[in-house]
């Protein structure tokens, strides 16, 4: 019988792995397990908040994947027995696998930030998984009065999409400037620096004047406690900030099914072999995307997609009794500051024999000195990137 590969998670990493397994090995049996019948992307969800994208335009279905002869099961994986090579699903079905791919994304570490639990997220959304949380945040912005304050608390440590909070601030600023120009944005950061900082701050000043205030950790920006009912946060040194809309980007960890599979370590994330993305702890299980420890690669959809392809190639080789091909990855994170104002950071990564490394002389960020035409071009490239990565991942 044909070998069976089960893929858990139909987001950037999992859907890509399933489709590339099919391309590399047309005879393989492949089953994709994903509870949602439609996937809403975090990429460009900030543009939805800014009023530049519709909900439909960031939503993708699984018909194309199904039409390629991949079994798509809408259930969640509840348990994994790595010894018997079995996955138990929420509908009671048990899938036997020869190789397993996990791309479960992130989960929130509820309570790691004092006061921020699941109930608090219904009042002060994180919107760090695209879906109802994103729509809640948008509704709150729309209900906010002109002159209100949008407060964002930003975590430190490893988190999904390093430039994401700052693109969100930009897109919220665009919405407020257009609709509620007396409003303010306060960013309370647990870090001292952030991704593409010089470029973001330059763009904010050019487009939004002093609407956005960023407070770093060394200026008491780190939030120690959240009171979602009162819409207040308290800083590490005891200063209280009151919000009209409160957005919390909280501490994160690998999606919980990774714990069940025994592939996470004490950090809550998944160590992998950087050449194959096979778990460093459990043979036969490949983990890709945000759940993994893959620094210097960031936790991005583009990286999850690239890692999905590397894992698919490694599994194909392994099932054929061959050595895995040498892994190489590329990533670009575009951020939109205004409708015609884009910036980016890019990198090329490889496995150096011991660990993942960035290819010297590759990548980098957009130049600080650039004219309007350059920023406009990058905004266009960002839209092109979104169209092509979506087509590559979901068809």
**Least distance to ligand FAD, CB of residue 120, Å:** 18
- Rounded Cα distance, 151 and 187, in Å: 6
Note whether 132 binds ligand FAD by CB under 6 A: no
C-beta of residue 276 within 8 angstroms of C-beta of residue 327? yes
Note whether 50 binds ligand FAD by CB under 6 A: no
Residues 315-354 that bind ligand FAD (CB under 6 A): 333-334
Residue 300 has phi, psi (to 5 degrees) of: -130, 160
C-beta of residue 365 within 8 angstroms of C-beta of residue 334? no
**Least distance to ligand FAD, CB of residue 47, Å:** 9
Note whether 34 binds ligand FAD by CB under 6 A: yes
Query: DSSP secondary structure string, 47-90?
Result: HHHHTSS-SGGGEE-SHHHHHTT-EEE-S-EEEEETTTTEEEET
| Residue from 62, 97, 128, 208 in contact with ligand FAD (CB under 6 A) | 128
Note whether 155 binds ligand FAD by CB under 6 A: no
- Name the one range near ligand FAD by CB under 6 A: 172-180, 227-235, 295-303, 370-378: 295-303
- Name the one range near ligand FAD by CB under 6 A: 222-230, 276-284, 286-294, 341-349: 286-294
Query: DSSP secondary structure string, 206-231?
Result: HHHTTSEEEE-GGGT--EEEEETTTT
Indicate the residue among 12 and 341 with the shorter CB distance to ligand FAD: 12
| 372-378-380-384 Cα dihedral, nearest 10 degrees | 180
Indicate the residue among 125 and 235 with the shorter CB distance to ligand FAD: 125
- Kindly state the helix (H) or strand (E) to which residue 365 belongs, with its residue range: strand 364-365
Which residue from 133, 158, 136, 151 is spatially nearest to 188, judged by alpha carbons?
151
Note whether 9 binds ligand FAD by CB under 6 A: yes
- Rounded Cα distance, 333 and 344, in Å: 5
Indicate the residue among 12 and 194 with the shorter CB distance to ligand FAD: 12
User: How crowded is residue 209: how many other Cβ atoms within 10 Å of its Cβ?
Assistant: 11
Indicate the residue among 7 and 226 with the shorter CB distance to ligand FAD: 7
Binding footprint of ligand FAD on the chain (CB under 6 A) = 8-14, 33-36, 39, 42-43, 45-46, 76-77, 103-105, 128, 160-161, 164, 168, 255, 257, 289-291, 299-302, 304, 333-334
């Amino acid at each position: 019988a044909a070998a069976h590969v089960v893929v858990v998670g139909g987001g950037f990493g999992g859907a890509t792995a399933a489709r590339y397994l099919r391309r590399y090995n047309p005879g393989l049996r492949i089953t994709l397990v994903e509870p949602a019948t439609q996937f809403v992307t975090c990429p460009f969800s900030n543009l939805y908040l800014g009023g530049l994208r519709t909900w439909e335009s960031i939503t993708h279905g699984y018909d194309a994947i199904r039409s390629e002869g991949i079994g798509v099961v809408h259930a969640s994986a509840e348990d994994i027995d790595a010894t018997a090579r079995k996955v138990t699903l929420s509908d009671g079905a048990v899938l036997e696998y020869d190789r397993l791919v996990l791309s479960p994304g992130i989960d929130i570490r509820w309570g790691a930030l004092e006061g921020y639990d699941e109930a608090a997220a219904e009042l002060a959304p994180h919107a760090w998984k695209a879906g109802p949380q994103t729509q809640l945040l948008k509704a709150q912005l729309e209900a906010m009065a002109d002159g209100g304050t949008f407060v964002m608390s930003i975590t430190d440590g490893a988190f999904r999409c390093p430039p994401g909070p700052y693109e969100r601030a930009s897109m919220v600023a665009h919405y407020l400037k257009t609709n509620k120009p007396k409003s303010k944005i306060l960013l309370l950061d647990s870090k001292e620096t952030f991704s593409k900082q010089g470029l973001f701050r330059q763009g904010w000043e050019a487009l939004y004047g002093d609407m956005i205030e960023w407070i770093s950790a060394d200026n008491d920006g780190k939030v120690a406690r959240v009171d979602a009912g009162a819409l207040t946060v308290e800083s590490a040194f005891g200063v209280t900030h009151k919000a009209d809309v409160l957005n919390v980007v909280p501490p994160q960890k690998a999606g919980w099914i990774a714990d069940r599979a025994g592939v996470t370590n004490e950090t809550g994330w998944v160590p992998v072999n950087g050449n194959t993305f096979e778990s460093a702890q459990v043979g036969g299980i490949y983990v890709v995307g945000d759940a993994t420890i893959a620094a210097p690669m960031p936790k991005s959809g583009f990286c999850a997609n690239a890692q999905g392809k590397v894992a698919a190639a490694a599994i194909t080789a392994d099932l054929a009794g061959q050595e895995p091909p040498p892994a190489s990855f590329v990533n670009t994170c575009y951020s939109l500051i205004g409708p015609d104002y884009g910036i980016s950071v890019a990198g090329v990564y490889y496995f150096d024999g011991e660990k993942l490394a960035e290819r010297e002389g590759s990548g980098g960020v957009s130049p600080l000195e650039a004219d309007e035409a350059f920023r406009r071009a990058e905004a266009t490239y960002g839209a092109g990137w979104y169209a092509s990565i979506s087509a590559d991942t979901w068809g």
